[in-house]
């Protein structure tokens, strides 16, 4: 029986992931790292109130078998450039470094389609830089998830994103060949694939959106 480490349980993918980990018999404990204590109770769950500005203080907490990282923000929620960089770049890198130092076996990271360390936009650039750091750390198992537009019930309503999903759904039949990775994807499928990757025997490390769907469906 394994211990899962979950960062970002209040988000769209993280919430799905938490529910699936609870029902998964491979895990006897789920360490949930949060800023504020959520209203959730389950014998498997250990809530760890986390100071994300001082992650070194949690080195003894970040111990387990599989680490799932789903934290993300938006420019709207983090308008300060330094704070945006900290959440999107520094926090995932710091957590991965601590996890590796504690011999965590697998690290599964929710990145983004078209992540690129050389991108002119901060979002894709930071995701790409985190990907490079994760590959450098050489975890026994690494899963870099690159979902397209995520579909699911968000606590936060994003008008622009809803419009984008509507348009992408409309155009989905035209997304063939290399464009298949642009089709919108259900958040629950991303979560399901993350667990399968951490428990499976996959050689590849980067999973595009259409590949995530295939894994979740098998």
DSSP states along 114-125:
T--TT-SSHHHH
List all residues 6 or more positions away from 11 whose beta carbon is below 8 Å from its beta carbon. 70, 71, 72
| pLDDT in the model for residue 65 | 98
Question: Whole-model pTM?
Answer: 0.89
Distances, alpha carbon 186 to alpha carbons 8, 54, 128, 173, in Å: 17, 33, 22, 16
| % of the chain with per-residue pLDDT over 70 | 86
Residue 136, H or E segment: helix 122-137
Determine the Cα angle at 132 with ends 80 and 103, to 5°: 100
Under DSSP, the state recorded for 158 is -
- β-partners of residue 7 are 33, 69
Tokens of 37: 């204590």
pLDDT of residue 174 exceeding 70, the answer is no
Under DSSP, the state recorded for 39 is S
Determine the Cα angle at 155 with ends 151 and 157, to 5°: 70
* Distance from the Cα of residue 200 to its chain's centroid: 17
Q: Is residue 178 very low, low, confident or very high in pLDDT (cuts 50, 70, 90)?
A: low
Torsion of CA 164, 167, 169, 171, to 10 degrees: -130
Residue scoring higher pLDDT (21 or 163): 21
Tokens of 206: 């980067």
Q: Is residue 80 very low, low, confident or very high in pLDDT (cuts 50, 70, 90)?
A: confident
188-214 pLDDT, tens digit per residue, is 999 999 999 999 999 999 999 999 999
Mean pLDDT of 72-78: 84
Domain ranges of the chain: 2-217
Tokens of 28: 């006897």
State the Cα–Cα distance between residues 118 and 112, nearest whole angstrom: 14
Residue scoring higher pLDDT (50 or 177): 50
- Domain covering 2-217: architecture: 3-Layer(aba) Sandwich (3.40)
Tokens of 177: 């060949």
114-124 pLDDT, tens digit per residue, is 999 999 999 99
Tokens of 175: 């997304």
124-162 pLDDT, tens digit per residue, is 999 999 999 999 999 999 999 999 888 876 555 555 556
- Check: CB of residue 167 under 8 Å from CB of residue 132: no
pLDDT of residue 41 exceeding 70, the answer is yes
């Amino acid at each position: 029986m394994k211990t899962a480490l979950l960062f970002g349980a209040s988000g769209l993918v993280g919430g799905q992931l938490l529910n699936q980990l609870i029902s998964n018999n491979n895990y006897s404990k789920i360490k949930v790292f949060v800023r504020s204590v959520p209203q959730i109770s389950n014998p498997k769950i250990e809530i760890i109130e986390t100071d994300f500005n001082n992650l070194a203080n949690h080195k003894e907490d970040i111990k387990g078998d599989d680490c799932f990282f789903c934290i993300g923000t938006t420019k709207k929620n983090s308008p300060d450039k330094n704070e945006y960089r900290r959440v999107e770049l520094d926090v995932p890198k710091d957590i991965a470094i601590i996890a590796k130092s504690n011999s965590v076996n697998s690290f599964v990271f929710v990145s983004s389609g078209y992540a690129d360390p050389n991108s002119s936009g901060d979002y894709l650039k930071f995701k790409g830089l985190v990907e490079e750091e994760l590959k450098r750390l050489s975890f026994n198992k690494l899963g870099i998830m690159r979902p397209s537009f995520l579909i699911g019930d968000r606590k936060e309503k994003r008008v622009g994103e809803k419009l984008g999903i509507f348009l992408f759904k409309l155009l989905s039949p035209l997304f063939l060949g290399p464009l298949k990775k642009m089709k919108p994807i259900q958040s629950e499928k991303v979560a399901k694939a993350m667990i399968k990757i951490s428990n499976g025997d996959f050689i590849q490390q980067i999973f595009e959106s259409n590949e995530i769907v295939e894994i979740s469906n098998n």
